[in-house]
Amino acid sequence: MLNLKFIRNNIDDVEQMLQNRNTNLDLSEFRSIDTQRRQLLTETEGLKNKRNTCSDSIALLKKQKQDAGSQIAEMREVSRKIKKLDAQINKLDNQLDSILYMIPNMPHESVPPGNGEDDNPVVRTWGERPSMTFEPQAHWTLGEQLGILDFERGAKITGARFTLYRGAGARLERALINFMLDEHTNNHGYTEILPPFIVNKTAMTSTGQLPKFADDLFKLEGLDYYLIPTAEVPVTNIYQNEILEAHELPVYFTAYTPCFRKEAGSYGKDTRGLIRQHQFNKVELVKFAAPENSYDELEKLLVNAESILQKLNIHYQIVNLCTGDLGFSASKTYDIEVWLPGQGVFREISSCSNFEDFQARRANIRYRPKEGGKPHFVHTLNGSGLAAGRTLVAVLENYQQEDGSVVIPEVLRPYMGGMEVIR
RNA sequence: GGAGAGGUGGCCGAGUCGGCUGAAGGCGCUCGCCUGCUAAGCGAGUGAGUGGGGAAAUCUGCUCCGAGGGUUCGAAUCCCUCCCUCUCCGCCA
């Protein structure tokens, strides 16, 4: 969330930002609650000051065995007033919080203006479209023909948007996960994490999934526990309510987890194939950085994610999300979009974001600056490195051959027991 | 699931019959002194949040001893609820 004082002092900018992000939120309520709250706060603090000093003198009187009856009677009245005021303030605090939690992050100045995904400028492109002398197939056709993806049985076991992997398909997904983790831990300096796949409400609120996006989460019956929609949630919360030392920053974590999303509101979208599942696998990259170099860290994180596709030798492009397409918690986001010949489109395979102190403020993650003094909020970043299911889609579609077989990319073969082709 | 113990500042750890304890003592850290360097020693300082005054150094109010309620003029200290940790027993991957 944003800093209360920041909103108070820059309310016009915040309202402009809400417009740019197509967010329908009126801040007039915020204004009135905020001023009211501050009035009551001054009042109650004055009374508390009186109570504190009086309590001291009552203690003194009692020690000297003198009568303190009249003061006690007076303070009884004061305490009653304080209790009443505090209750009012508490109510206002809750109202204020619920507004604060719904305000999205301020975009960084380098974020281009725009209404939606069509306005995202392409930052750079890597590689080329594979030249195919035949009509490329979509991955769902390839996967079913090869017997490695079984959409019907997945739906039978659970429902729509659940898929059964089989044989070389299951192994290929596992190979991709292991390959990615090895790259990030061995070559990019990340520490591997295996976090809980179920988290509590506090963790979900810290990273921004709650309260606004409850509809997209799977909640466990009768508990305040949720299935994670991304490893970002448990991994960012590793340092919830902690103060790090400046020399510890930046911290790099990578984690494989399954991800669970309801995909509410996307009925009829990407219904075929592996693109939009309720459960998918992802290797995530998470960073905690000092504010002064968090944007350098974002560029590096992006490069780390890209390197996976480069080693797989798959064509992709990078877009800079515009104000209208930017996620709720992010200040800036790059999407990596991979080329899918079977569908003839670029599809998002990774989303790399700097959240600045937006999540850190919610999660209360701070660090003590080198020069000493009060702790500051860290900047948090994360990005997919990459979504494994969609990477598998990209491999199938880009490495397909005319006969429907799929060549396994060189770098994955050691992870596939030396297998070279799936046929 | 049953029985018991406990949750205090960056860490360890005191806190008596509720009141000069935002918190003793120690460690760590910072600054200074001293020894040729290192180690040791000596002295001083060192929690967080939020509000107000001042150009600033800084001064000042309020809150915080797992979380939330309650009792009281006053609670880290008493009562209730919840959460977490540890030990033992049972069960289980």
DSSP per-residue codes, A137-201: PPHHHHHHHHTSEEHHHHHHHT-TT--EE-THHHHHHHHHHHHHHHIIIIIS-PEEE---SEEEH
Residue A253's nearest CA partner among A241, A267, A239 is A239
Question: What is the radius of gyration, based on Cα positions, of chain A?
Answer: 27
More confident residue, A368 or A239: A239
Strands A316-320 and A279-289 come out as: unpaired
Mean pLDDT of A367-372: 76
A364 CB neighbours strand B below 7 A = no
Residue A286's nearest CA partner among A360, A335, A235, A329 is A235
Percent of chain A with pLDDT over 90: 67
Cα separation, A25 vs A14, whole angstroms: 10
Number of Cβ atoms within 10 Å of the Cβ of A339: 24
Instruction: Please report the pLDDT score of residue A307 as a whole number.
Output: 98
Amino acid A355 CA to nucleotide B54 C1' distance, rounded Å? 35
Mean pLDDT of A293-306: 97
Cα separation, A210 vs A110, whole angstroms: 27
- Amino acid code (one letter) for A206: S
- Nearest nucleotide, C1' to the C-alpha of A368? B10
Cα separation, A279 vs A303, whole angstroms: 26
- Nearest nucleotide, C1' to the C-alpha of A73? B73
Instruction: Please report the pLDDT score of residue A26 as a whole number.
Output: 87
Which nucleotides of strand B lie within 7 A of protein CB?
10, 19-20, 30, 48-51, 61-63, 69-70, 72-74
Residue A63 scores a pLDDT above 90? no
- In the sheet that holds A251-260, the strands lie side by side as A122-126, A316-320, A332-340, A345-354, A379-387, A279-289, A251-260, A191-193
A5 CB neighbours strand B below 7 A = yes
- Nearest nucleotide, C1' to the C-alpha of A44? B62
Alpha helices, H only, A10-101:
11-20, 28-63, 69-100
Number of Cβ atoms within 10 Å of the Cβ of A362: 23
Instruction: Please report the pLDDT score of residue A379 as a whole number.
Output: 92
Instruction: Please report the pLDDT score of residue A186 as a whole number.
Output: 98
Amino acid A379 CA to nucleotide B55 C1' distance, rounded Å? 32
Amino acid A383 CA to nucleotide B12 C1' distance, rounded Å? 39
A19 CB neighbours strand B below 7 A = no
A35 CB neighbours strand B below 7 A = no
Amino acid A132 CA to nucleotide B32 C1' distance, rounded Å? 76
More confident residue, A409 or A373: A409
- Nearest nucleotide, C1' to the C-alpha of A8? B51
Instruction: Please report the pLDDT score of residue A331 as a whole number.
Output: 97
| Under 8 Å between Cβ of A34 and A96 | yes
A65 pLDDT tier (thresholds 50, 70, 90): confident
pLDDT by residue (tens digit) across A315-356? Answer: 999 999 999 999 999 999 999 999 999 999 999 999 999 999
Residue A370 scores a pLDDT above 80? no
Q: Which residues of A spanning 219-258 put their CB closer than 7 angstroms to strand B?
A: 243
Percent of chain A with pLDDT over 70: 100
Q: Which residues of A spanning 53-112 put their CB closer than 7 angstroms to strand B?
A: 53-56, 58-60, 62, 72, 75-76, 78-79, 83, 90
pLDDT by residue (tens digit) across A152-204? Answer: 999 999 999 999 999 999 999 999 999 999 999 999 999 999 999 999 888 99
Cα separation, A297 vs A295, whole angstroms: 5
Amino acid A104 CA to nucleotide B75 C1' distance, rounded Å? 40
Q: What is the DSSP letter of A219?
A: B
Mean pLDDT of A104-126: 95
Q: How far is CA A403 from CA A102, A145, A269, A339, A341, in A?
A: 52, 11, 29, 21, 16
The answer to whether the bond into A211 is cis (omega within 30° of 0) is yes
Mean pLDDT of A56-82: 86
Strands (E), A308-369: 316-320, 332-340, 345-354, 365-368
Residue A69 scores a pLDDT above 90? no
pLDDT by residue (tens digit) across A237-282? Answer: 998 888 888 888 899 999 999 999 998 878 777 889 999 999 999 9
The tokens for A275 are 């693109």
- Nearest nucleotide, C1' to the C-alpha of A61? B19
- Nearest nucleotide, C1' to the C-alpha of A361? B49
Instruction: Please report the pLDDT score of residue A351 as a whole number.
Output: 97
Tracing tokens 């340092």 back to the chain, one arrives at A239
Amino acid A410 CA to nucleotide B88 C1' distance, rounded Å? 55
Cα separation, A308 vs A285, whole angstroms: 12
Cα separation, A311 vs A197, whole angstroms: 29
